[in-house]
Each structure stands twice: as C-alpha cells, then as structure tokens.
Amino acid sequence: MDGDGDPGSVGQPEEVSPEEQQEEACAEEASGGEERPEEGEEEAAYLDELPEPLLLRVLAELPAAQLVQACRLVCLRWKELVDGAPLWLLKCQQEGLDLEGWCDVEHGGDGWRVEELPGDCGVEFIHDESVKKYFASSFEWCRKAQIIDLQAEGYWEELLDTTQPAIVVKDWYSGRRDAGCLYELTVKLLSEHEDVLAEFNSGQVAVPADSDDGGWIEISHTFTDYGPGVRFVRFEHGGQDCVYWKGWFGARVTNSSVWVEP
C-alpha cells in the first residue's frame, strides 16, 4: 500500500501521455531499421581503412604461420601484402638485429659484433631508413648460419613439392674505407633429413679498401625448379678483414632475407 492510503494505486502502471507515446514510437521506428554490425565486422572494416604503411605494421606483429595460413585469405589487398617482400622485411627488422636465431659456424678473431650504422669509416644504409645496425666480422673468418623451417612458416608439402614457388635470398655486405675484406654467402635447400637438394655459393668476394666509398652491395639469388622434397633453407654468410687488425675491420652484413614468392 502506498503512503497516500489509496489501495487502488498499488501495482498500477503510470499513465503515459499521448505526446510521450508518440515520442517513444518515433524512437523505436528510428532504431528498428538499423542492424548493429558484428564486432568482428567493425574491426575488419577499421583495419581495411588503414593506409598501407600502418596496415603493414599491424600485420608484422602477427606470427608468420598466421599470416600465410589465415591473413592472406581475408581479401585481395591482404593477400598482396602478405605475398610481398615489404611485410617480411619489416617483420625481420621489428624482431631486432641480434645473434638470436643464428648459430656460429666459425668464430674467428674477436667474433661477430653488432654495431650502429654508419659505423667507423662506413656509410648509412640508404636503401632502407629503418635499418639501423649491422654485423661486423673480425680479423679471421667469422661465419654464422640460420635454418628456416618452411613448413613451420606456413608452407605446406604439396605447395613446395608441386608448385615449387621461387625462393629468393638476399643479403647486403660492405667493407670499410680503411681496410679491405672478404665476404661469402652460401645458401642450401635441404630435405626433411637435411640432404642438400640445391645450393648457391657466392665464392669469396674481395672488397678492397675505398671500394664504392664504403657503400653497401646487394647480393641475391633465386631458386626455381628445385624439385620436390625441400623443407628447409640454410642461410650462411661470413667475412673477415684482409689486414689482420685486431677488432672488427672485416666485412659487414645487414638486412638479410629469405622469402618465398607467391
């Protein structure tokens, strides 16, 4: 019972004026024709509106297997980005330049050292402003290698054995203006049991002092028609100086990459 003592008022709804009824009807009509988009659709639409440089940075944060197996299926634009080299180069650069993931094959002289560009008697890496560091070798041969598991990166057996997409390897090397050096690149395509199915070797490349004013030189090779069975890529590079000076006066390397063409 209400405090006014009127039993008829207990549990009775309040009366609504005709004006309020009309306002409610208009509000329902205005909202009734609109369907709220799903949360996932909103996110996809937002990402699709991003300019390419920002979208590349977002995609570069994802695992490689997810990029290949899922993201490239979203739409044509994403497929082209995942299949292109800029995304993978950015991904490598974001993961940093250090010896993690590399194994020392030969640790001569004082070994490898990571230095900031341009370094003593060197130049900036003008080919990509995001590259800030490089590896410097010493007065005896320094070699390091990395093995890339293609299946772990999202490339399935049928694709590798039947389509045999081109596998492109690139590296950049440089010397110093005050000391000559040697550089070498060896890349092998390996089977499941690490048998060598194809190989590229640059030979020992001599870089004299004052060569190209200490500029950076690109070396690349493309593997095609390599036959079925390829499962791994073994990438190895190395260098040393030609003057046998203690420290790190040997060949410099940076921006190494291995990628599979669509």
Q: How far apart are CA 104 and CA 89, in angstroms?
A: 23
Question: What are the tokens at 198?
Answer: 């194809």
For the chain, the structural domain boundaries read 39-90, 98-260
Q: 24 pLDDT exceeds 60? A: no
* 79: confidence class by pLDDT, cuts 50, 70, 90: confident
Q: 170 pLDDT exceeds 90? A: yes
Q: Given this structure, which CATH class describes domain 98-260?
A: mainly beta
Give pLDDT tens digits for 54-68.
888 888 888 777 887
Q: Quick one: fold of 39-90?
A: Monooxygenase (1.20.1280)
Would the pTM of this model clear 0.85, i.e. be above it? no
Could you tell me if 257 and 92 are in contact, meaning their C-beta atoms sit under 8 angstroms apart? yes
Please give the angle made by the CA atoms of 102, 104 and 110, to the nearest 5 degrees. 120
Pick the closest to residue 158 from 231, 78, 83, 64 (CA basis). Answer: 231
Q: Burial, 105: exposed, middle or buried (Cβ in 10 Å; 0-12, 13-18, 19+)?
A: middle
- Whole-number Cα distances in Å, 90 to 37, 74, 255: 33, 20, 10
Q: How far apart are CA 2 and CA 49, in angstroms?
A: 58
Report the pLDDT value the prediction gives residue 205, as an integer from 0 to 100.
96
Q: How far apart are CA 255 and CA 125, in angstroms?
A: 10
Give pLDDT tens digits for 193-218.
989 999 999 999 999 987 655 589 99
Q: How far apart are CA 51 and CA 19, in angstroms?
A: 49
Q: What percent of the chain has pLDDT over 70?
A: 74
The residues facing 201 across adjacent strands are 186
Q: Give, to the nearest 10 degrees, the angle between helix 85-94 and helix 52-59.
A: 60
For residues 116, 120, 122, 127, the Cα torsion angle rounded to the nearest 10 degrees is 10
Give start and end residues of each alpha helix (H) in 110-174. Answer: 157-158
Task: Tell me, rounded to whole angstroms, the distance of Cα 139 from its chain centroid.
Answer: 32
Task: Tell me, rounded to whole angstroms, the distance of Cα 134 from its chain centroid.
Answer: 17
- Sequence-ordered strand ranges (E) for 6-123: 103-107, 113-116
> Cis omega (within 30 of 0) on the bond before 13?
no
The residues facing 47 across adjacent strands are none
Q: Which residue has better confidence, 101 or 142?
A: 142
Tokens 């197996």, residue? 69
Give pLDDT tens digits for 111-169.
888 899 898 888 888 888 888 899 999 999 999 999 999 998 889 999 999 999 999 99
Amino acid in the structure at residue 255: N
